[in-house]
Amino acid sequence: MTTTSQYATYPSLRDRVVIVTGGASGIGASMVEAFAHQGSRVAFLDIDASTGEQLAARLAGAAPIAPIFLPCDLTNTDALHAAVQSTLARYGTVDVLVNNAGNDARQRSAETCRKCLLGSRRRCLANV
């Protein structure tokens, strides 16, 4: 995707805070790019630091709001917690989570949400 003129524009996505896991390549990178071109405030996480930094640099001048890349191994819940806290410190909230990263190591969703995402089981969709 190189310009937004060939794609639909969704004003409701402008200024929304989006986290994309597995966002450095493939479908995740396409999601990062699409949200960034909509004017969303995008933070994306990936274990591949080199590819993530390259994507962030490429989009820095091409998107209305430059996305931020946070290197993160999602199997490390402390690292995930730090990445989400960094996003919250920068933007104050998270509106959209695109849980795209692929890994077959299993963790209980309630534990992951309690420790990492929002710090409140009450707000976690996995516990609804």
**In which residue are the tokens 């995008």 written?**
42
Between 116 and 12, residue with greater pLDDT? 12
**Residue 68 included in any domain:** yes
Amino acid at 58: R
**Residue 107 included in any domain:** no
**Residue 64 included in any domain:** yes
Q: How many domains does the chain have?
A: 1
Structure token digits, residue 82: 């730090």
Please compute the mean of the pLDDT values over residues 36-41 and round it to a whole number: 96
DSSP state at residue 15:
T
> Residue 54 and residue 44: Cα distance in Å, rounded?
12
Q: In this structure, what CATH number is given to the domain that contains residue 29?
A: 3.40.50.720
**Residue 123 included in any domain:** no
Q: What is the pLDDT of residues 26-37, one digit of tens each?
A: 999 999 999 999
**Residue 115 included in any domain:** no
Range of the domain at 76: 13-102
Question: Is-contact 101 21, C-beta < 8 A?
Answer: yes
**Residue 25 included in any domain:** yes
Q: What is the pLDDT of residues 53-108, one digit of tens each?
A: 999 999 999 999 999 999 999 989 999 999 999 999 999 999 999 999 986 556 66
> Quick one: pLDDT at residue 30?
96
DSSP E strands, the chain: 17-21, 41-46, 68-71, 96-99
**Residue 110 included in any domain:** no
Amino acid at 20: V
**pTM across the whole model:** 0.78
Other C-beta atoms lying within 10 Å of the C-beta of residue 71 = 15
